[in-house]
Copies of this chain bind each other. A is one copy, B any other.
Amino acid sequence: MQKECRIIEALQNKLTYRQRLQYMKHYFPINYTVNVQFEEVLRASNITRLRDQNVSELSLRCLWLSVNSQVLLKIGAVLLEKHLSWEYIQDLCLLFEHLAEEYEDCNQGNVDTNVWDVVEQVLTGDTGSGQKAVRPKALLDNCVKVMWMLYSESCK
């Protein structure tokens, strides 16, 4: 867990409320939204429900990782390199890439079937279940809340 926790700590330092507010709210037009897949809105309540269904913690982390990697790409895709939030998103993308390297066992064999279906859907960009317009800050707020649920115990 040690390397994993170091990356989580770096993510936590990068995803403080102050930074989310500045880069994802103040630097965007009022009410601006990004289109994401329905499944990419991964809230704390989704995690609670999946835990009630006895989904494994590895599966939940794989889900959170794949969802938020895609979310960051989608936010990054609406920004020009010279936008002041661009570098912030790139830094986060890089941390998620590092984290993905630690999760080589995020594959069909190790992840619960129902969660794997969602992971695949997110990664292939299959929008069969519809799109949702969500504010960038709300997306990163979800990312942080779920990160906290998944790692606060094991990365104290």
Contact = CB atoms under 8 A, between A and B. Distances in A.
Interface string A75-89: 001111011100000
**In the assembly, how many copies of this chain are there?**
2
Contacts of A30: 77-80
A22 interface: yes
A43 interface: no
Interface residues of A, number: 16
Interface of A is mostly: loop
23 contacts: A22-B82, A25-B80, A26-B80, A26-B82, A26-B83, A27-B27, A27-B82, A27-B83, A27-B84, A28-B29, A28-B83, A29-B29, A29-B32, A29-B78, A29-B79, A29-B83, A30-B77, A30-B78, A30-B79, A30-B80, A31-B78, A32-B32, A84-B84
